[in-house]
Structure 1
Amino acid sequence: MFGIYLKRELGRRKKAALVIALGLALGIALVITVNSVSAGMTQAQDKVLKSLYGLGTDMTVTKARTAPTSGSSGGPNFKFDAKSSSSSTQSSDRVQTQGGQALKSSLVTKVAGQTGVESAVGALSLNVTKVDGSFTQGKAKSTTGSSSNSGGQGQPGGSSSSGGAPQVQGGGANFNVNSYSVAGVDVAHQGLGPLSTMKVTSGKTFTSAQTSAKVAVVSKSYAKEKKYKVGSTFKISSTKFTVIGIATPDSSESDTDVFVPLKVAQTLGDAKNQVTTIYVKATDSKQISAVKKEITANISGTTVTTSADLASTVSGSLSTASSLATSVGKWLSIAVLAAAFLVAALLTSSAVSRRVREFGTLKALGWPSRNVTRQVVGESMVNGLIGGALGIALGVGAAYAVTAISPKLTAQLGSTGGGGGAGGGPGGGGPGQQASQNTLEIALSAPVSLTTIALAVGLAVTGGLIAGAMGGWRASRMRPADALRSVA
């Protein structure tokens, strides 16, 4: 009886049911879209952070570089030998650590022993500036001049001759400057550290036995620029390296051009038993703040930078869009949803008012008030579920449209103030932390999760219950006499 009557009444009031369902659908669709875009923002931010730290890295430990002493210069300098030949080719490499001040390698073990730390790996970040070119020696030429006078030789005004000042003609210098970054990788623990942001797409990565091998993995962009391929060789400060692999960043762009074994990098940078960055993985991601305090308290003079610290420094259109989706978008969706619930409740209540004769007659025939209320609530629930289905379809369609368009967002990582080294990155920089100076481009997606769908269904049911409750309360107060008056 209930089902038959419900079907008949909904069929008779198609327009009213459709208006209520569409109102709920728009509110639910907006909620789905905003939640999906917000999830996409979170994924985009995670991509930025993973491109800097690597998957599994929870924090880094660095030390700010000390200010240079008076009269000293921290900039690169090059010395070339003067040669007598008219043309001489010269080449020189300047290798220096970049980022924060170098730390002792023994600190890696100390950090790994702190409470809440699962593993810790050290890395050394170097900057190589290569200058090569040639000097061309100029040639000195002198000019002569003479003047004559009617006076005799030796008399004032007499003739004399003298050689002109010599002038150097030709010569000069033509030098090319190439600067690139090198990261020293602990080959025994490549899952944590600068190479964890990369995927070797050609060749192979390091083996644990290659701690002192003169081999390198280069980024795809740098290999393309230098026309390197697996098996190519190049030199850093007269040390010859063989390319064994070409790596592509998992997300965004790589800020490290060349990866070499840590021990070899320490030799190149004259930094024996030193690292510039310690990558840390916590045993529990929920205890990162506690681990940060533990390391800061027990290892003085260091700066501990977490993913949360980096996230707070992300700026650009990604940050702006994220703020809009989080604040304006969510409040707007709540307002629209509340309005949809209110409209549905008012329309349902209005529909009940127009059915005075119907409900009064049913009561006169013996229907108790609870049956009348159940009938109204049932109709409202069906309207809510229809609205939920339409809203899910519209919301999922909007989310897929955003993903298909994939609008580009920019993200720039600012300094957290922990460092003062080259690169200006958080905690003084380190492998993969130069992105603080670069603008990264991220494609926005809007993934729809099962949680979001469940939320939409819950909202549809809630909307139906609210509308049904108001309409049912109104219907339960009707009396059979109301029906008779409406007939008269």
Structure 2
Amino acid sequence: MFFTYLRRELRRRRKAALVVASGLALGIALVIVVSSVSSGMGKAQDKVLQSLYGLGTDMTVTKAAAAQEEGQAQRPRFRFDAQDSDSDEEQSSDRVMVQGFETLSSSTVSKVGAQDGVSDAVGGLSLQVIKVSGQFTRGQFQQDGGGEQPGGAPGGGTGQPEGRVQGGGADFDVNNYSVYGTDVTKPELGPLTSSKITSGRTFKASETNAEVVVADASYAKEKKLALGDTVTIKGVKYEVIGIATPESGDAAANLYIPLKQAQTLSDSADKVTTIYVKATDSQRIDAVKSAIQKNISGTTVTTSADLAETVSGSLSTASDLATSVGKWLSVVVLAAAFLVAGLLTSSAVSRRVREFGTLKALGWRSGRVTRQVVGEAVVNGLVGGALGIGLGLAGAYAVTAVSPTLQAELGGGSGGMAGPGGGFGGGPARAAAARTLDVALTAPVSVTTIALAVGLAVTGGLVAGAFGGWRASRLRPADALRRVE
């Protein structure tokens, strides 16, 4: 009887039911789109942070930057040996510097790894190489005319020829690139993990001090490097064994070499610039950060959340818009849809006074009438939910299909000291902090979002049913039957 009466009443009042369902559908669709776009923003931000950290890294530990007095800033210096005066041979000099000039002892890696909540820790050394190459050209002495003067000395009586030097000079090229020393025994951590080896291979665990190098794909293309070629750094030739292509953002460095080789090149034995840390549980990151800062003095700990605060540009603007305006708009529209659905249902009950009065006169109790009204409202809510899910999925698909490009500008807010080449001290995570990355926005719809939509649909139906049921329960048969429509 319940379902028969329910079906008949919904068929009789199709237009009113459609209006209620459409209002709920609009609110639910907006919630789905906003939730999906917010999820897409989070994934886009994760891509940006992965380009700085590497996959699996929860935080980095660097040396706290010390205040420098005026005139104490380190600057690169180049010296060239004297050559034969008749030689115009090309001269070259490499200056290998620790990026930011701030290092930690390698023993700090073990101390960090021993902290409670740390799953693994690995050290790395970020270097900046400035290569100056070119040649000096000897000038030619040109004697002035004028013949010999008294005393047999040309041009005067000093005994020295008069004239000037013409031509000559110097022509030098400056090449600036980054090198990262990675711990080859732990390939699962560090910035190289955010790149995929697209040609050749990565390092072997046995190549802790081998003269091998993995080149970033963009740098290899620029310098026309291929597998088997050699790259010379400070007189040492390194064989190219692999080409790495970043999976998101830019590469952390142009070249990757074993950590010991990087330490030797920069005269930084047993030193690292960055310690990459993986926590045992993502929920304990803040606690691990506090423990490291408390137990290991002179260090700066930077988490993904800290770096996320430095992200600006259109990605940050869109994220703030989706988080604040979008979510509040969803709440307002949804509340309005619930209210309208409730008022329309209550109004429909008012127009059915004689019907409910007759049913009560025939023996229907107030509870049964209320259940009938609530049942109709819940069905309207479920219909609205189905329409809303369809509209929401269409909106999310449209965002993903268009895939608008957002820019993420990464400022140097992580506390690093300005280093050579415009980078930031403390390793690739900070060296990359001056970049602008393009990220494609998507709007993935999760099962949780669909479940939320269904829950909202049922809630909307119950809210509308509560309005109508309360009104229906207050009807008295005698008053209802006296009313003439």
TM-score by length of structure 2 reads 0.93
Instruction: Give, in angstroms, the shift of residue 457 of structure 1.
Output: 0.4
**Alignment partner of 1:474 is 2:474:** no
Deviations 1:327-357 (Å, cap 9, x if unpaired)?
1111110000000000111111111111112
When residues 310 and 233 of structure 1 are mapped into structure 2, their CA distance, relative to the original with a 3 A threshold, is: same
Distance in structure 1 (CA, Å) of the matches to 2:155 and 2:466:
120
Structure 2: which amino acid aligns with 1:463?
Answer: G
Q: Does 1:104 align with 2:105?
A: yes
How many Å separate the matches in 1 of 2:275 and 2:54?
Answer: 13
Q: Is the 8 A contact 1:199 1:250 kept in 2?
A: yes
Q: Give me the whole-angstrom Cα distance separating, in 2, the residues matched to 1:35 and 1:417.
A: 29
Q: Deviation of residue 50 (structure 1)?
A: 1.5
Partner of 2:118: 117
Asked whether the equivalents of residues 419 and 425 of structure 1 are also in contact (C-alpha less than 8 Å), the reply is no
Higher mean displacement: 297-306 or 61-70: 61-70
Q: Is the 8 A contact 2:414 2:430 kept in 1?
A: no
Structure 1 contact 20–387 (Cα < 8 Å) conserved: yes
Across the two proteins, how many residue pairs are aligned to each other? 478
Structure 2 gap ranges (5+): none
After TM superposition, the structure 1 stretch with the greater mean CA deviation from structure 2, 289-298 or 379-388, is: 289-298
Q: Map 1:273-312; keep pairs closer than 5 Å.
A: 273-312=270-309
Range that drifts further, 162-171 or 225-234: 162-171
Q: Which amino acid aligns with 1:98?
A: Q
Task: Name which of 341, 346, 358 aligns with 2:355.
Answer: 358
1:62 corresponds in structure 2 to 62
- 1:144-163 matches, within 5 Å, as 144-145=145-146, 162=156
Name 2:46's counterpart in structure 1: 46
How far does residue 142 in structure 1 lie from its aligned partner after superposition?
2.5
Which ranges of structure 1 fall in alignment gaps of 5 or more residues?
Answer: 147-152, 154-159
Match of residue 418, structure 1, among 415, 418, 431: 415
Equivalences for residues 331-346 of structure 1 within 5 A = 331-346=328-343
Q: Could you tell me how far apart the structure 1 residues matched to 2:423 and 2:91 are? A: 34
TM-score by length of 1: 0.93
User: More deviation in 226-235 or 236-245?
Assistant: 226-235
Instruction: Tell me whether 1:178 sits opposite 2:175 in the alignment.
Output: yes
Distance 1:60 1:261 in 2: 19
- After alignment, is 389-398 or 87-96 more displaced? 87-96
- Separation (CA, whole Å) in 1 of partners of 2:458 and 2:118: 46
Equivalent residue, structure 2, for 1:138: 139
Counterpart secondary structure, 1:375: helix
Structure 1's 425 and 418: CA in aligned 2 closer, same or farther, altered over 3 A?
Answer: farther
CA RMSD in angstroms comes to 2.3
Q: Given the alignment of the two structures, is residue 268 of structure 1 paired with residue 265 of structure 2, yes or no? A: yes
Moved more, 338-347 or 10-19: 10-19
Where do 1:429-440 residues align within 5 Å? 429-440=426-437
Letter in 1 for 2:54: G
SS of equivalent residue, structure 1 residue 52: helix
Q: Is the aligned partner of 1:456 residue 2:453? A: yes
Deviations 1:237-290 (A, max 9, x none): 110011101111121111311000001111111111111111111222212222
- Greater shift, 455-464 or 187-196, is seen at 187-196
Pair 1:72–1:471, CA change in 2 (3 A): closer
1:216: Cα distance to partner? 0.5
| Matched residue, 1:129 | 130
Give the superposition deviation at 1:30: 0.6
- The one-letter amino acid paired with 2:229 is S
Do the aligned partners of 1:100 and 1:430 also contact (CA within 8 Å) in 2?
A: no
**2: CA distance, partners of 1:230 / 1:10:** 72
**Paired AA for residue 97 in structure 1:** V
Which 4+ residue blocks in structure 1 deviate beyond 3 angstroms? Answer: 64-73, 160-165, 423-426
Amino acid in the other structure paired with 1:106:
S
Inter-partner Cα distance in structure 2 for 1:369 and 1:270: 89
Amino acid at match of 2:16: A
Distance 2:221 2:127 in 1: 21
- Which shifted more, 251-260 or 166-175? 166-175
1:32 and 1:392 in contact (8 A); partners too: yes
Shift of 1:100: 5.4
Is the contact made by 2:55 and 2:191 (CA closer than 8 Å) also made in structure 1?
no
Task: Report the CA distance between 1:433 and its aligned residue.
Answer: 2.6
Aligned to 2:227: 230
Cα contact 2:192–2:252 (8 A) shared by 1: no
Which residue identity lines up with residue 420 of structure 1 in the other structure?
M
Q: Does 1:484 align with 2:477?
A: no
Contact 2:208-2:258 within 8 A present in 1 as well: yes
Q: Distance in 2 between matches of 1:414 and 1:7?
A: 61
Q: Distance in 1 between matches of 2:163 and 2:15?
A: 103
CA distance in 1 between counterparts of 2:344 and 2:176 reads 70
The answer to whether the aligner puts 1:375 opposite 2:345 as a matched pair is no
Amino acid at match of 1:173: A
- The residue that corresponds to 1:20 in the other structure is 20
1:87 lines up with 2:88 in the alignment: yes
Report the counterpart of residue 168 of structure 1 in structure 2: 165
SS at match of 2:437: strand
Q: Does 1:77 align with 2:77?
A: yes
Whole-Å separation in 2 of the counterparts to 1:479 and 1:373: 13
1:480 Cα shift? 2.4
Q: CA deviation at 1:293?
A: 1.9
Structure 1 residues 380 and 167: CA distance shift in structure 2, 3 A: same
Amino acid at match of 2:244: A
Q: Is the 8 A contact 1:63 1:301 kept in 2?
A: yes
Q: Is the 8 A contact 1:101 1:421 kept in 2?
A: no
Say if 1:144 and 1:164, in contact at 8 Å, map to a contact too: no
Q: Deviations for 1:72-100, whole angstroms, at most 9, x for unmatched residues?
A: 55122222234323632121111010035
The CA distance in 2 between the partners of 1:331 and 1:405, in whole Å, is 25
Distance in structure 1 (CA, Å) of the matches to 2:163 and 2:193: 62
Q: Secondary structure at the match of 1:328?
A: helix
Confirm or deny: 8 A CA contact 1:58 1:307 kept in the other structure.
Answer: yes
> CA contact under 8 A between 1:344 and 1:467: conserved in structure 2?
yes
2:180–2:255 contact (8 Å) kept in structure 1: yes
State the 1:231 CA deviation. Answer: 1.3
* CA-to-aligned-CA distance 1:298-348 (integer Å, 9 cap, x gap): 211111112221122222211111111111111110000000000111111
Q: How far apart, CA to CA, are the structure 2 residues paired with 1:285 and 1:425?
A: 29
Is this contact kept in 1: 2:63–2:426, CA < 8 A? no
Q: Structure 2 vs 1, CA of residues 137 and 66 (structure 1 numbering), >3 Å: closer, same or farther?
A: farther
Rounded to whole Å, the distance in 2 between the matches of 1:258 and 1:422 is: 18
State the secondary structure of the residue aligned to 1:433: helix
Q: Give the residue type in structure 1 aligned to 2:354.
A: R
Query: Amino acid of the residue matched to residue 134 of structure 1?
Result: Q
Distance 1:198 1:128, change over 3 A: same
How far is the alpha carbon of 1:463 from its aligned partner? Answer: 0.4
